[in-house]
Structure 1
């Protein structure tokens, strides 16, 4: 948070407008990329204030791309940054971003905040995120605003889409194959973290399913057998956990 706190004190006329708690989340999710010359994409430029902010945060050698639908945003480009103009709900534009500038280590969607924009951007940019990368969507409180295509428990909202990602990540463990089949996205996600108004999805490519470890008397046994079991029952008598003394 210290970098962002200091940066905000030396901003110029190009405004930066964020919820205060976002800066701590940035540090948690993007801090691992600092000083490592990452490839970073932010959707949404507005006044351009975040361009120098991210440039200073990620450091020398970073490949920084900023996208917006408004052609006037080209004026905010700085040395060692790229400004691309296009619609974040246009798959062709998103594909061009990925092919030209990807694969990315970090992607931040601070664009139009409409449900179709956030979902389309995720679906088409996720393939252009590197293994170990983080895809972050902010201002997800718009998922609760009907004017943005959201609403409480609205199936078309990004929050409900992200809840679906939780299911897909856990589809290794399905016990109801007919209604909950395995989803290939389970091979691509390490975790999904929900913060106030932010969803962060971490990519982790793996060909093999999770492995169970059992150790006793210094002997370690690995198994994936539980993934093949169906009709599971409780391991405890009467379906209850053991009593604690």
Structure 2
């Protein structure tokens, strides 16, 4: 496994990097296969600019690297080969412009203002700009438990509760309540959701309805009957 992220803090220059330490090991595990790949990358949140050289050194030399921040002074922190856009991550018009100008993206990281309305608005407007097999990562979701950020334990408006709802939407193929819990379009787009300490990762995977198979003597039979029958008492 690569140690790029875990070893990176010892290689930093004068730009300050602020990350939860355990994110670095998670990124080595989660993104090891991305190292050196030429991708389209977006990070929300520039702060002191410390993450720009980190991502630039990790991703391929032909990658498109875009960073967003609400603070106009962050524009001066752009490095050669990167773009820093200034705007509000909760502003739909700004996010739509970013998508048109720079999308689609393979990897999106939200390390912005960490307010509930910001994280949710950014996801809603940028998820359509995420490419198939791409990852959408939201950092510092512990703010979902802080009232000062619009959160609180089981606060309906928190990003954590929003992400829990995405789990239901991903599984809405299997509904037996067509009126109360209908099939949601995101079922065709979310491949998986991983919850880590303070961090949520949502994988985009465009797909058709799930298929169950039976196989015997090399003969494979495919069926979507599991999605169609109501009132089941057996999985078979």
| TM-score under structure 1 length normalisation | 0.93
**C-alpha distance in 1 between matches for 2:145 and 2:191:** 26
Counterpart for residue 147 of structure 1? 148
Where 1:72 maps in the other structure, the secondary structure is helix
Following superposition of structure 1 onto structure 2, how do residues 159-174 of structure 1 map, counting pairs within 5 Å? Answer: 159-174=160-175
Measured after TM superposition, the shift of residue 36 of structure 1 is: 1.9
Counterpart for residue 178 of structure 2? 177
For the 8 Å contact 1:29–1:134, the answer to whether it is kept is no
Measured after TM superposition, the shift of residue 235 of structure 1 is: 5.9
Counterpart for residue 221 of structure 1? 221
Measured after TM superposition, the shift of residue 200 of structure 1 is: 0.4
Measured after TM superposition, the shift of residue 76 of structure 1 is: 0.7
Q: Which runs of 5+ in 1 are unaligned?
A: 237-245
Once the two structures are superposed, what CA deviation does each residue of 1:75-128 show, in whole Å capped at 9, x if it has no partner?
Answer: 110000000000000001101111111100000000000000000000000000
Counterpart for residue 116 of structure 1? 117
**C-alpha distance in 2 between matches for 1:17 and 1:192:** 25
For the 8 Å contact 1:98–1:125, the answer to whether it is kept is yes
Counterpart for residue 239 of structure 1? none
Structure with greater Cα Rg: 1
Once the two structures are superposed, what CA deviation does each residue of 1:184-215 show, in whole Å capped at 9, x if it has no partner?
Answer: 00000110000000000000112x20000111
Where 1:220 maps in the other structure, the secondary structure is strand
For the 8 Å contact 1:105–1:134, the answer to whether it is kept is yes
**Aligned CA distance change for structure 1 residues 113 and 235 (closer, same or farther; 3 Å):** closer
Q: Which runs of 5+ in 2 are unaligned?
A: none
Q: CA RMSD in A?
A: 1.3
Number of aligned residue pairs: give it. 235
Where 1:9 maps in the other structure, the secondary structure is helix
| TM-score under structure 2 length normalisation | 0.96
Where 1:209 maps in the other structure, the secondary structure is coil
Following superposition of structure 1 onto structure 2, how do residues 1-245 of structure 1 map, counting pairs within 5 Å? Answer: 2-206=3-207, 208-234=208-234
**C-alpha distance in 2 between matches for 1:142 and 1:235:** 39
Where 2:21 maps in the other structure, the secondary structure is coil
